[in-house]
Amino acid sequence: MTITRRSLMIGAAAVPLVATIRHAGAQSAEFNYKYANNLPISHPMNVRAQEAVDKIREETSGRVAIQIFPSNQLGADTDMLSQVRSGGVEFFTLSPLILSTLVPNASISGIGFAFPSYDQVWPAMDGDLGAYVRAEIEKANLVVMDKIWDNGFRQITSSAGPIETAESLKGMKIRVPVSPLWTSMFTAFESAPASINFAEVYSALQTGIVDGQENPLAIISTAKLYEVQKFCSITNHMWDGFWFLANKAAWEAMPEDVRAIVAKNLDEAAVNERADVADLNATLKEELVSNGMEINEPDAASFREKLKDAGFYAEWKGKYGDEAWAILEKAVGTTLG
């Protein structure tokens, strides 16, 4: 009789108990890590990162629990870069150009009009150019995953009017991310660039602190920049990505087999995210038009000419050095500048 009662009680408690164990498991994983980024939760980067995090949890039998903090919830990019160095966050994705505030030559993949198309981007970033940059990043004591994630080819939006030629950029108050290369490029265009973290971009456009900004279509869409911008000019003036960075001590705290699972899943997610962004590029123009934007497709020639005449390419070749510049030119298959 006693045995039966006891069995019944255990049986009755079973359902809530399992739920409690699962919940406690989330908090007591061996490695409870934070991944911070600057993009909306709906952007493919966060969608694919969530998939990776779920698989990592499963494949490590719950040892690694990564929580994603999208949309600058833990701070703006320049703060997050300090955080990932100090260990305040364990993972962080960052544009190579903003990373150049710490690793100067990391921005080389963002040189204006360097990549004609994605056909050159992925072989370069998965090949010699990416390997060169990752080695530079590692010298700064950060861990970086092999596969860079896609941000995209950048387009210019404005509240004032369409960008038709380089002439249209003269005097334009334009937000650029915090990076010497971005400021240099728009200074070469004779614009008035303002360095502003992405966390502040929507409100800077809304309040008219700047007239425009530049970002790939997937961000113009997911961050709803069409609500505060009228014109979108398809300039493709640079390609941009996101390096997936890890704090070194946090990375090395994980045993090697666990690290391998984390790296594999993050890199797989990066490759899937690239495909998602490419798919979006094919459909987003229509969506942006239906959200009230006017889109034009200017010829790149005047922009390239302007950068060349301003000495932009010569200046940056000098900064990066001949070795790095040769790797870039080989990757893009042409002489720049």
Residue ranges binding ligand X2X (CB under 6 A) = 38, 95, 98, 151, 177, 198, 215, 219, 240
Alpha helices in the chain (DSSP H): 2-27, 44-59, 77-86, 96-99, 118-125, 128-139, 180-188, 201-206, 217-222, 248-253, 256-290, 301-309, 312-320, 322-332
Hey, which residues does 144 pair with through a beta bridge? 245
Residue 150 Cβ vs ligand X2X, minimum distance, rounded to whole Å? 11
Is the Cβ of residue 163 or residue 258 nearer to ligand X2X in the bound state? 163
Is the Cβ of residue 219 or residue 293 nearer to ligand X2X in the bound state? 219
Residue 227 is encoded by which pair of tokens?
Answer: 């609500």
Residue 243 is encoded by which pair of tokens?
Answer: 């390096």
Is the Cβ of residue 95 or residue 155 nearer to ligand X2X in the bound state? 95
Residue 151 Cβ vs ligand X2X, minimum distance, rounded to whole Å? 5
Is the Cβ of residue 42 or residue 165 nearer to ligand X2X in the bound state? 42
Residue 75 Cβ vs ligand X2X, minimum distance, rounded to whole Å? 13
Hey, which residues does 234 pair with through a beta bridge? none
Residue 61 Cβ vs ligand X2X, minimum distance, rounded to whole Å? 34
Exposure string over 278-305, b if 16+ CB within 10 A, otherwise e: eebbeebbeebeeeebebeebebeebbe
Is the Cβ of residue 81 or residue 258 nearer to ligand X2X in the bound state? 81
Is the Cβ of residue 31 or residue 243 nearer to ligand X2X in the bound state? 243
Residue 86 is encoded by which pair of tokens?
Answer: 């100090």
Cα 100 from Cα 179, distance rounded (Å): 7
Hey, which residues does 231 pair with through a beta bridge? 158, 294
Residue 175 Cβ vs ligand X2X, minimum distance, rounded to whole Å? 8
Residue 131 Cβ vs ligand X2X, minimum distance, rounded to whole Å? 22
Is the Cβ of residue 52 or residue 219 nearer to ligand X2X in the bound state? 219
CA angle 103, 107, 111 (to 5 degrees): 160
End-to-end CA distance of the chain: 89
Cα 311 from Cα 297, distance rounded (Å): 25
Residue 240 Cβ vs ligand X2X, minimum distance, rounded to whole Å? 6
